[in-house]
Amino acid sequence: MKVGYLGPKGTFSEEAALRYFSDLENETIMYSTIFDVLEAVDEGQVDKGIVPIENAIEGTITMTTDGLVNHDVWIEGEAVLPVKLHLLALKGAKLEDIKEIWSIPPALAQCRVFTKEVRAETKHFSSTSGAAEALSQSGRLDAGAVASELAAQIFDLEIAKRDIHDNNCNSTRFLILSKTPNGNIHETDKSMLMITPTEDRPGLLAIILNVFSSLDINLSWIESRPTKKKLGTYRFFIEAALGVHEANLKKAVTILEAYGHEVKVLGSYKTKKL
């Protein structure tokens, strides 16, 4: 089975893919953007795809929500990966000698207390694993990279300091994608809907949410994104704590469509903690 994930090698996306599909024989295929992963699933280049949808600290990954609009894929699973950030260094480097720390801006922001304590300058890279790879090739004993343990293994680096993140509760959730529904839909307990209103009106979002409230449907995530057709118009991504097969969710979809809204069920799934 071919599984597409967001590269480069050593990213948390790769780690999530390896953990989620650990009990299956598969070939992981790296892509440079989230859109590329979605396209690969849509066009049948891979059997499954895994993309990040939300980080506990940074919030929604909007590239994923926007990509779901333009690609015909099905969300068949959800995986939650704890995010552990470590300071990686070349073998033989000493923590007290680190004067510069490399990583992506969000990772550096999540380690602000540590970088302030060691009084190190920061340098931005396009990915945590990219910073780790650059460090491994630099030969510098006075620089470190904020990245994952997987990146340390891939690029033959030492972990100079573990768990340097400010928040110990950080995690990222990923969506598992396929071209069509797979498995037993009747065992799922969450669903994601994309609702595109056909006209704007006062209290529009409240009207939509009242449909779910009246049917006693709990919502675990709501995100609005511009329709990109007219300033001030939005579509809504809503995650409901019911499988797509449940009668009340079917009623909600019927009512929303009766109000004139376009409703697309993007998937139905269960959560797996990695």
For residue 19, the tally of other CB atoms under 10 A from its CB is: 16
Does the pLDDT at position 25 exceed 80? no
- The confidence score (pLDDT) of residue 250 equals 97
Q: What is the pLDDT of residues 28-42, one digit of tens each?
A: 999 999 999 999 999
Does the pLDDT at position 4 exceed 90? yes
Q: What is the pLDDT of residues 161-198, one digit of tens each?
A: 999 999 888 899 999 999 998 777 888 999 999 999 98
- The confidence score (pLDDT) of residue 22 equals 86
- The confidence score (pLDDT) of residue 7 equals 86
User: What's at 201, amino acid-wise?
Assistant: R
* Mean pLDDT rounded to a whole number for the chain: 93
Q: Rounded to an integer, what distance in angstroms lies between the CA atom of residue 74 and that of residue 76?
A: 6
- The confidence score (pLDDT) of residue 126 equals 86
Burial 131-156 (b: 16+ CB within 10 A, else e): bbbbbbeeebeebbbbbbbbbbebbe
Confidence of residue 151 (pLDDT cuts 50, 70, 90): very high
Confidence of residue 233 (pLDDT cuts 50, 70, 90): confident
Helix or strand (DSSP H, E) at 186: none
Q: Rounded to an integer, what distance in angstroms lies between the CA atom of residue 102 and that of residue 122?
A: 6
Does the pLDDT at position 46 exceed 90? yes
- The confidence score (pLDDT) of residue 186 equals 86
Does the pLDDT at position 201 exceed 80? no
| Cβ neighbours for 229, distance < 8 A, ≥ 6 positions apart | none
What are the strands of the beta sheet with 86-89, ordered from one edge? 121-124, 100-103, 143-147, 86-89, 158-161
- The confidence score (pLDDT) of residue 95 equals 92
- The confidence score (pLDDT) of residue 133 equals 94
Percent of the chain with pLDDT over 90: 81
The closest alpha carbon to 80, from 118, 61, 52, 116, belongs to: 52
- The confidence score (pLDDT) of residue 183 equals 72
For residue 51, give both structure tokens.
């993309």
Instruction: Classify residue 44 by its DSSP letter.
Output: T
Residues 195 and 262 sit within 8 Å (Cβ to Cβ): yes
The closest alpha carbon to 109, from 168, 166, 52, 147, belongs to: 166
Q: Is the pTM of this model over 0.85?
A: yes
Domains of the chain: 2-83+170-178 (3.40.190.10), 86-150 (3.40.190.10), 185-273 (3.30.70.260)
Q: Quick one: average pLDDT of 243-255?
A: 96
Q: What is the pLDDT of residues 51-97, one digit of tens each?
A: 999 998 889 999 999 999 999 999 999 999 999 999 999 999 999 99
- The confidence score (pLDDT) of residue 159 equals 96
Confidence of residue 220 (pLDDT cuts 50, 70, 90): very high
- DSSP string of 204-254? HHHHHHHHHHHTT--EEEEEEEE-SSSTT-EEEEEEESS-TTSHHHHHHHH
Q: What is the pLDDT of residues 84-140, one digit of tens each?
A: 999 999 999 999 999 999 999 989 989 999 999 999 999 999 889 999 999 999 999
